[in-house]
Structure 1
């Protein structure tokens, strides 16, 4: 939300902007295309102001004609309210407020915020954004403006979303992308649901379940991955407020953060045969394939199978980068023939900043195996299934419905 002279880099250089398209309404589990798990440590229904999650202080304290005042943040009726007021404070004639999360949200995430914009007649900018105080160690210091009401009285129905970088040394501000989208009605009429999905190298912006912008982070990849704080603020970007409509509140009903399992094609349903979509293979790859077996899978029509009559060692796996550091869990439904013809058959995780961990595949009926408390410290991981088979006839090991998500 900081304002200074900026250089606008075109979407041709830094990403691609797609036309507005309609998707199924955002559900309690986030948008489609992956499996989402709500992170309750980063979600808040605002029944109270949880100071373990939120901070009312900020790295700047003046925005235009406004001075931030922590007294302008209050919880009432299940909402957190940020107020704009006509009053003298810290050398300014108006006060406003900011609320910054103490947690951060990185890639493979969906952030959903239900909010009601401040009264359009007050001519005050309200903002929902992700950022943090710029520091050299965190260059390029990305900022994602999910929603900014820059022309509240002139275009009260406009959703404006912008991508910035704030690199330190050199100290230069870039605008990497911007999208203006007009809602059917002024945004201060009622509460609306604003959503930001950061997954598979893309950012997807939603209003009430409608995807109005998709941006590919092809050059500055940190837009899709860099951990940032969630911020709500009232800013002075619209110029002088209209005193007759003050005080006025910017209301937030909830913020809900979801983590993606990050698993592409988790049920092997995308296609059959060798080299299933989204998965890598090494070793004796002829022994690994997605097989259609209606009624013989855990769910759906396909499963991954490791099988051959001759000895083999095969690995089917995925690699993920740009993960937010922290604890993760991997789960999968598995089964295996009961012979002793295996040297080993296991699910594993490695290259995440600690020792390789694994758990054995056992049982002729579907059962779920789990590796939990995977402490990712380097922003990446490899996970998958490896089978070392001695040789024989009629043996098999099968895998289905894989999950990998932040705890």
Structure 2
């Protein structure tokens, strides 16, 4: 094998590894550190019945048939058929029902993390609703107000065809539902928390610019101890405060019946015999994967905003970062941030300046700390080989006290005075507009810069040299999140933007 052939193979393997690595992070948050939860994830090479229950007890109008949940061509298929049958239900004995469907439910439980699936909806509309969701089973009665007996997070329910009260018409297939359900104790009584009854607490609805039956889209939920966030194709489409969704839940993929095949009477869903039809049946949804991650306790910052960048004593230094206490946990301290003088061996000489970000009791989010640089020696005045670096740390409630530290950011340049153009070149570069429809520009570059844009799945969309205020055409790109790297003034800045 000659050297050129070997180099090409190595480059190919590197590209495959990079794409796989990018693909194995949440579409919406590829820049954070995650641990994949393999017991809750599946690429569906086959249906693993040790991992998934495909024959749970029937409930309500839903009759589950294990033969209707299967893997074909590396995809999970959930099928619904018209088949008249009888069984006992909560609304009567030996009731006649008309449809059967498939379901898979993970045998293990989980409460917090990021949950994502790539799904194509079923052709039949209206009447069926493909769903990716989590729900609790057999939890004890709560003993205090604010505790839940039942928790359900609907990552997505497709094609429900609900009534649009604002426009006085039935919704089309583009309505995407991302809701919450709970039974919780309030004032000593168990109460229902449902989307229509308490929309401020439990309802999210987004009208897509696509038909979910036509193609695959990613649907995700980030469930934290403080909040729950919903994403479609990596873009946030809803959020709610997490009040009652703290129970262990089972991840589930299923397809349920909806109007016109069912109706509500006094809060109970019944089958509608007169609407029964074989038209459009059998129908099936497809799911390419289910992936679950938990966030690692972390502090993230854009190092290029600080490394080898000059900061003047006249303006000080603002350090911006993102922190996460880890899935299911909160910060139990402030974030301590220090500007530290180091010697050539990397040993601490002294703490030149210190600051704090107030993140006590928070699960995750942006953190900002300001350094007053008055009294700090200029970098040029330090002994040979000495340099400044930024350190940051806080304590997470994980394992009753886990210290979380920033990877040190080195070579901070302290000078007497800088102009606004010189200071923090990385932080000055912005993508405009963001989100964008047809084109973007890069604000903050004063001369020609090299850019690379790739999708969150790792595909390189564009590599080129751009001039200041040059328009970049993205009109034909698929809607979603993109990552752009801008090389300018010997600094590489990474930004994200959204194509709508």
Give the TM-score band, short-chain normalised. Answer: 0.5 to 0.7
Per-residue CA shift, 1:157-182, capped at 9, x if unaligned? 11111111124884431123211111
Aligned position for 1:215? 240
- Aligned-partner Cα distance in 1 for 2:133–2:217: 15
Q: Which moved more, 1:240-249 or 1:136-145?
A: 136-145
Cα deviation, residue 122, structure 1: 5.5
Is residue 2:274 matched to residue 1:244? no
**Cα pair distance change 1:274/1:75, threshold 3 Å:** closer
Residues 1:151 and 2:161 aligned together = yes
Q: After superposition, give the CA deviation of every residue in 1:247-301 in whole Å (9 maximum; x if it has no partner).
A: 111211100111111334589999969999867769xx9xx74227799999xxx
Pick closer, same or farther for the CA change 1:281–1:155 going to 2, 3 Å: closer
Flag the 1:186–1:281 CA change in 2: closer, same or farther, 3 A: closer
Residue number in structure 2 paired with 1:383: 402
How far, CA to CA, are the matches of 1:206 and 1:243 in structure 2? 34
Q: Which residue of 1 aligns with 2:298?
A: 263
Does residue 401 of structure 1 match 2:399? Answer: no
Q: For structure 2, which runs of at least 5 residues remain unmatched after alignment? A: 1-21, 88-96, 163-169, 195-200, 262-275, 307-315, 324-330, 364-392, 409-500
1:60-79 matches, cutoff 5 A? 60-64=57-61, 66-79=62-75
Q: Select 2:221's aligned residue among 191, 196, 200.
A: 196
Within 5 A, what are the aligned runs for 1:54-203?
A: 54-58=52-56, 60-64=57-61, 66-91=62-87, 92-107=97-112, 109-121=113-125, 123-136=127-140, 139-140=147-148, 141-149=150-158, 150-151=160-161, 154-167=171-184, 170-175=189-194, 176-199=201-224, 201-203=226-228
Higher relative contact order (CA 8 A, sep 6+): 1
Give 1:237 shift.
3.1
Deviation digits for residues 119-152 of structure 1 (CA, Å, limit 9, x no counterpart):
1336212211111224225751221111113118
Equivalent residues of 2:302, 2:321 under 8 A apart: no
Q: What secondary structure does 2:298 align onto?
A: coil
> How many residues are matched?
292
Instruction: Give the 3-state SS of the residue equivalent to 2:407 in structure 1.
Output: strand
| Uncovered stretches (5+) of structure 1, i.e. residues with no partner | 1-25, 299-303, 310-315, 323-346, 353-375, 386-398, 403-407
The answer (yes or no) to whether the contact 1:163–1:177 under 8 Å persists in 2 is yes
1:193 Cα offset (Å): 0.6
Distance across 2 between alignment mates of 1:62 and 1:43? 25
- Check whether the contact 1:112–1:194 (CA below 8 A) recurs between aligned residues: yes
In structure 1, C-alpha distance between the alignment counterparts of 2:321 and 2:58, rounded to whole Å? 53
Q: Is the counterpart of residue 291 in structure 1 residue 346 in structure 2? A: no
Q: For residues 346-388 of structure 1, what are the alpha-carbon distances to aligned partners after superposition, in whole Å with 9 as ceiling and x for unaligned?
A: x999986xxxxxxxxxxxxxxxxxxxxxxx5xxxx31128xxx
> RMSD of the TM alignment (CA)?
4.3
Alignment check: 8 A CA contact 1:125 1:238 kept: no
Residues 55 and 273 of structure 1: is their aligned pair in 2 closer, same or farther, counting only changes over 3 Å?
A: same
Cα distance in 2, alignment partners of residues 295 and 193 from structure 1: 48
CA contact (8 A) 2:70 2:78 kept: yes
TM-score by length of 2: 0.49
| Alignment check: 8 A CA contact 2:131 2:255 kept | yes
Contact 2:126 2:258 in 1 (8 A): no
Q: In the TM superposition, what is the alpha-carbon distance from 1:242 to its structure 2 partner?
A: 4.3
Does the Cα contact within 8 Å between 2:34 and 2:296 map onto a contact in 1? yes
Q: Which has the larger radius of gyration?
A: 2
* 3-state secondary structure, aligned to 2:67: helix
Alpha carbons of 1:281 and 1:273: their partners in 2 closer, same or farther (altered >3 Å)?
Answer: farther
1:112 aligns to what SS in structure 2? Answer: strand
2:235 and 2:343 map into 1 onto residues whose CA distance is 36
